[in-house]
């Protein structure tokens, strides 16, 4: 079955207040931002008979706000737009690199960071940078607003912890001090326009004596949701990155992530590649 416009009810609020009123009255409506996921399903007929809440007219959610301490990215800011902000490229370069790997230019011109989060795919390319940057998600409803840590927003494959009638308004990121070392890496079947088999992001701060002040490392496409390597991060803190320390850290990776088998790859491949990514980063 193909998408049938005659069976779909479209709502297009002009203000945030109007959007929240509409969504409260009809929480079963499907929020639409860039539409790169919603429209694929709609064209296949899976959204026939549904209500679509088109958020594209909410100009206040199409802005990026930068202060000395944090960056706020509106829910309707696209992946292409994020790559054009010099302040984001300078302060959050891993996020910019991730946005550049999402599909082709046509997808990046439509896809939004908030939509990527709301879709909650295990293979979301932006999630590992957001995880190491300690991002939080600002959600709003007629009942109020709250900030949800990124790790708490995902409830499983294609599931979030958003409450009925809550919408994502923005993504909030504290600006970290300049790291000693940083890395984003996506591993897929080909170099471009591929769904990741595993995706990693890391930030590392070293003291002058060579010991680890702080490590943040996250993996995606390895489990139902993105994972920070908490055991690994805790183990290396205060240690020098000797060969023994690095190898132990790679072994501990399995404490934080239980790699999955799926149509794109095997558990063994994902685990080996992820350990290699961690090893190369720490070396």
Q: Where are the domains of the chain?
A: 5-54, 60-174, 181-282
pLDDT digits (tens, 9 = 90+) for 244-268: 999 999 999 999 987 766 666 687 8
Residue with the two structure tokens 């958003």: 162
pLDDT of the residue at 191: 61
Residue 261's pLDDT is what?
65
CATH topology for the 181-282 domain: Enolase-like; domain 1 (3.30.390)
Tell me which of 251 and 1 has the higher pLDDT. 251
What pLDDT does 226 receive? Answer: 93
Distances from the Cα of 8 to the Cα of 4, 48, 146, angstroms: 7, 6, 31
Residue 44: count of CB within 10 angstroms of its CB: 12
Nearest CA-CA partner of 176 in 99, 92, 233: 92
Give the Cα separation of 120 and 224 in Å (integer).
Answer: 9
Residue 29's pLDDT is 92
Domain 5-54, CATH: 3.30.43
Q: How confident is the model at residue 142 (pLDDT cuts 50, 70, 90)?
A: very high
pLDDT at res. 215? 98
pLDDT for res 219: 96
Which CATH architecture does the domain made up of 60-174 adopt? 2-Layer Sandwich (3.30)
pLDDT, tens only, 179-228: 999 999 998 776 666 677 889 999 999 999 999 999 999 999 887 889 99
Beta-carbon neighbour count of residue 2 at 10 Å? 8
Distance CA 236, CA 247 (A): 11
């Amino acid at each position: 079955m193909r998408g049938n416009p005659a069976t779909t009810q479209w709502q297009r609020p002009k203000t945030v207040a109007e959007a929240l009123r509409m969504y409260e009255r009809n929480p079963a409506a499907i929020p639409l931002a860039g539409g790169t996921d919603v429209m694929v399903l709609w064209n296949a007929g899976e959204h026939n008979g549904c209500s679509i809440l088109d958020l594209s007219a909410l100009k206040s959610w199409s802005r990026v706000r930068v202060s000395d301490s944090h960056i706020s990215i509106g829910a309707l800011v696209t992946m292409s737009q994020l790559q054009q902000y010099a302040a984001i490229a300078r302060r959050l370069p891993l996020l910019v690199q991730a946005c550049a790997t999402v599909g082709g230019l046509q997808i990046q011109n439509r896809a939004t960071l908030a939509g990527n989060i709301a879709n909650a795919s295990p293979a979301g390319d932006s999630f590992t940078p957001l995880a190491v940057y300690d991002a939080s998600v600002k959600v709003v409803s007629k009942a109020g607003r709250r900030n949800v840590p990124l790790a708490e927003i995902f409830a499983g494959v294609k599931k979030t912890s958003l409450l009925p009638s809550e919408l994502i308004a923005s993504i909030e990121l504290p600006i970290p001090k300049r790291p000693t070392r940083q890395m984003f890496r996506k591993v897929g079947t080909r170099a471009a326009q591929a769904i990741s088999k595993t995706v990693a992001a890391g930030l590392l701060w070293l003291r002058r004596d060579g010991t680890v002040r702080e490590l943040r490392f996250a993996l995606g496409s390895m489990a139902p949701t993105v994972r920070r390597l908490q055991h690994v991060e805790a183990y290396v803190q205060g240690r020098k990155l000797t060969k023994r320390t690095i190898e132990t850290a790679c072994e501990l990776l399995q404490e934080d992530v239980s790699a999955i088998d799926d149509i794109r790859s095997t558990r063994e491949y994902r685990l080996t590649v992820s350990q290699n990514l961690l090893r190369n980063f720490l070396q």
